[in-house]
Amino acid sequence: MSGTMDGPDATPAEPPEDGQSLAALFALGVLAPDEARAVAEAAQFDAALAAEIAAWEARLAPLARLSGEQEPPVDLWPRIQAGLRPSPRVRRAMLEQAQAEARAARGWAAGLGRWLPWAIALAAPAAVLVMLRGPAGPSQMASQVGATRVAALGALSSAAGGWVAAVVPGQGVVLSETSAMPRPVGRDYELWVLAEGAAAPVPVGVIAPAARVVLPGDRVPSGRFKLLVSLEPKGGSPTGLPTGPVLYGGVVSE
Amino acid sequence: MIALVDEGCRMARSSAALIGAAAMGDEDAFATLYERHKRHFFAVALRITRDAALASDALQEGFLQIWQNAGRFDPGQGEAEPWMLATVRYRAIDLLRRRPGAETASLSEDAVVAEAEALPDLRVVAAQGGQGAALARCLEALPPERARLIVAAFVEGYSQSELAARSDTPLGTVKAWIRRGLAGLRACLDGGRG
């Protein structure tokens, strides 16, 4: 936390929120709705943030007894119950849908070889590139696509879109939005790579709207790693580490 | 007889165990959870929204969210009641803030009343023992204006702008007091001081 109990009260300075104070403000309920939603989504992926929020919820929960008790309307439980009824069936359907999507993704990844080199080549001259250092030509790339891996970044909130990352060993990563992403005014999404066992993510760069981001092959970690997207001040994190909530992420498996 | 025994067993189960059963699709376990917590949670939502219909919506949406997320509840990370309570509180606050004209309504209803009242009586908080007693003790150890803001934000669901207007205090000062109050609260609770 940035402040102390004994600091001067009249100072209105607002230092950037760290994870601890953000969790405290979230649990207290004083964040703006959009901020609160971003933190809730980030907590689904960021276990440390989730634990910090849970700790604050537990610390403050006894205050709720100041509100006493009140009988809710009798028709409320039937309304809730109506929302539960299809649950087992829906869960089975969701499982089946997930399995079908996994099968489709495998098929898509296999077919990706046909267009991925062109996607990367087309993205190269565009101003939307975050970082690009000499992508291989299509013929060279085509030899690599047999081992292309695909990872979904997101699935933290169905309403908030996400990205699909295609990873070509030795060549790089292409990141595409699955739908138009909400972009808070004055903020940017930034892409990070977190190698397995690494203590901190490495910044890749800011993701421009409707952009394909290409990460050079020599910066793609070998083996399993995570791709993360955080919400940062305009232009990206000033510190080299995420300063805002990590909203999207996915594991690129071996 | 068997049904009565079953019901007795269900009521005796911890809320964490009931959430675990709900995660497996056990509607009866979930109904027991609702019966156990509905009066408290509804009162919390009503205090925040100050509107019975909105409070009902918050309780409904909150419990549906609890049902959907029951599989994500981790007893190792915390107790069941704070987790469930937080879900309902967040729904109540979100519904309140998203209500059309929420900001203007909340400010005009009470005009700009300088709230000079003392910290609310925390005996009901302290009477819970354990964490409740520690929380009450640590709140009373904070500078009163910070403790009052934290309690008002949590119990009444006021935003920082509303708290600034209601106490006739600059917004930046309110934000600083809340942050420092929370930091002090954490230090006191985690350090056992206060």
In the predicted model, is pLDDT for residue A242 greater than 50? yes
Q: In what order do the strands lie in the sheet with A187-195?
A: A202-207, A187-195, A225-233, A246-252
Query: For the residues A150-167, what does the mean pLDDT come to?
Result: 61
Q: Which of A52-66, B11-25, B58-72 has the lowest mean pLDDT?
A: B11-25
Task: Give the residue on A whose Cα is nearest the Cα of B171.
Answer: A12
Which structure tokens are listed for B193?
């001081």
What type of residue is A23? A
- The distance of Cα B180 from the centroid of its chain, to the nearest Å, equals 20
- Mean pLDDT for the stretch of residues A161-181: 66
- Name the least confident of A236-250, B23-37, B49-63: A236-250
Closest in B77, B85, B186 to A61, CB measured: B85
Tell which of B44, B46, B150 to mutate to test the A interface (max A CBs under 10 Å). Answer: B44
Q: Is residue B51 predicted with pLDDT exceeding 90? A: yes
Reported pTM: 0.59
* Tokens linked to A183: 């972009």
Check if the beta carbon of residue A237 is closer than 8 Å to that of residue A202: no
Task: Please report which confidence band the pLDDT of residue A170 belongs to, taking 50, 70 and 90 as the band edges.
Answer: low
Closest partner residue to B180 (CB to CB) among A5, A55, A77 is A5
Tell me the average pLDDT across B171-182.
93
Given a contact cutoff of 8 angstroms between Cβ atoms, the answer to whether B164 and A95 are in contact is no
Residue contact B151–A27, C-beta within 8 A: no
Question: How much is the pLDDT for B155?
Answer: 94
Instruction: State how far Cα B29 lies from the chain centre.
Output: 23
Q: Tell me how crowded residue A180 is: count the other CB atoms within 10 A of its CB.
A: 9
Whether residue B177 and residue A32 make contact (CB cut-off 8 A), yes or no, is no
pLDDT at A239: 82
Task: Tally Cβ neighbours within 10 Å of residue A58.
Answer: 21
Q: Please give, rounded to a whole number of angstroms, the shortest distance from the CA of B133 to a CA of chain A.
A: 9
One-letter amino acid at B42 equals F
| B82 vs B38: CA distance, rounded Å | 14
φ and ψ of A70, to 5 deg: -150, 135
Report, as an integer, the average pLDDT of A114-130: 32
Taking a contact as any Cβ pair under 8 Å apart, which residues of chain A between 18 and 37 contact chain B?
A: 20-21, 24-25, 27-30, 32-33, 36
Token pair 């980030």 is at which residue?
A42
- Closest chain A residue to B143 measured between Cα atoms? A5
Q: Are A227 and A191 in contact (CB under 8 A)?
A: yes
Q: Give the C-alpha distances (Å, rounded to integers) separating A21 from A25, A39, B53, B95.
A: 6, 12, 33, 24
